[in-house]
Amino acid sequence: MGVPEVGKISHFVEEKTGQNMVNDQSHFIMNLSLDGIITYITKNVIMVLGYESRELIGTHIRDIMHQEDNQRVMNEWSIRKEEISKLTYRMKKKDGKYLTAESTTTHISHSAPEIPEGIICFIRDVASDRNEAENMMVETEKLKVAGQLAAGIAHEIKNPLTSIKGFIQLMKADEYPNKKYLEIMEDEIHRLDIISNELLVLAKPHKHKVSVQDLIQIVKEVIFLLEAEAVKKSIQIKSVIEDQKLMILCDIHKVKQVLINILKNAIEAMDQGVITIHMSKNENNALVSVIDEGCGIPDEYLDHLGKPFFSTKATGNGLGLMICQKIISEHGGNISVQSTQMQGTTFTITIPMIKGN
C-alpha cells in the first residue's frame, strides 16, 4: 500500500471530520491500514509522542497504544465503519510514559480513490489542550485583577502627583531650590514608579519563570498595592512576621496574583476592621495566613470553594480561587480555609521553602 500525499490526507480529514489541520504540538494525523498497520503519520508526532515519523511507519498501532485499550478501540473502529467516531485512549510515548489522546477517526473507502483504503485518525493530546485552556484562564483572571486594581488605586496615584505639583509651585516662588522639597518629590516619584510597574507586570503576559524569592517581600509589595483600597473602607492591614526571611522558589508574578486575589477577597468581605497577614514557617514550608474579620463562610459552602462557577459573591464565578489553588499546587503547596460565620475567614497559603532557609 503506497503512502498517501500529505496534502490529500489533510484535505480529506478536514472535509470528513471538520477538524482544522494545524501544525500544532498537541495534534498529529495518522493513517492506518484496515488491519492496524501505520502507513503514514505526520512529522509533528515527535512533538506529542517523541517518535520520528519514520520510526512508526510500518509498525502496528498496538505498539503505541495501551494494551488495555487496544482491543476496545479496534472493535469500535470495525463497528463504526460508516461513521466518524471519537474515542479516548492511552498512547505510549517514546520515553515509556502514557498520555491520554482523543482520536477523531474516519474510514477511507473506495469512494476516495486518490487515498488507499484504511483508517485516518486526527489525534490530539487531551492534557496539552487542557493546560492551554487553563493557562488562558490564568491570564484572563490576571487581566481582570489588574483592571480592578487600576481602578482601586487611581487616587493613590493622584496623591503623589498633587504633592509634586504643590512642591513645584513652592520651589518656583523660592529663589533657591529647597532640598527638603526635592527629597519629598523624589520619594513620591519613586512611589508612582513602583505602582505603575506593578500594574504593568501584572497585566502583561509573561513566560513561566521561576526564581528564588523572599515571600515576606512579595507580601509587602502586595500590601503596598492594596492599602489604598483598604483605607477607603476603613480597613487596616496589619502584618505579623515571625521570621526575617522566607525564601521560596517561585514564579513571582503568579504568587503575587494569588496573594492579590485572596487579600482583595478579604477586603471585599469587610466594611471596616483589621486584616491580619501572618507570615511564619514550619519545618519545610513558608506559611502566609490572611485573616479577615468579615461575615465568614457557611460550613456547607467550604467544601465547594475553588470549584468552577461556585462563588459566595453575587457577581462571582468561582474561577479566581480555582486558579489560585492551581498556581499554588504547581509550586508544590496548597491553600486551606477556616471560617466562622460572623467572625471571619482565614486563608492559609503553604509553599515549600528552599532548603537551608
Report long-range pairs for 146-155 (Cβ below 8 Å, ≥24 apart): 146/199, 146/202, 146/203, 148/264, 149/199, 149/202, 149/225, 149/226, 149/229, 149/260, 150/199, 152/226, 152/228, 152/229, 152/232, 153/195, 153/225, 153/228, 153/229, 155/228
pTM of the model: 0.49
Q: Is 54 exposed, middle or buried (0-12, 13-18, 19+ CB in 10 A)?
A: exposed
* Structural domains for the chain: 6-127 (3.30.450.20), 208-357 (3.30.565.10)
The packing angle between helices 154-173 and 179-203, to 10°, is: 160
- For the chain, the distance separating the N- and C-terminal CA atoms, rounded to the nearest angstrom, is 64
- pLDDT, block means (10 residues), the chain with 357 residues: 46 47 65 86 86 90 86 77 75 87 76 64 73 59 61 59 72 71 74 64 62 93 83 91 90 86 87 94 93 82 55 47 81 89 90 80
The tens digit of pLDDT for each residue in 248-263 reads: 999 888 898 889 889 9
The grid coordinates of residue 191 equal: 512611589
Say what the pLDDT of residue 36 is: 86
| Residue 114: count of CB within 10 angstroms of its CB | 10
Provide the pLDDT for residue 315: 41
Could you report the per-residue pLDDT of 287-324, keeping only the tens digit for each? 999 999 988 877 766 665 655 443 455 444 344 677 78
| pLDDT of amino acid 307 | 54
Q: What is the pLDDT of residue 288?
A: 96
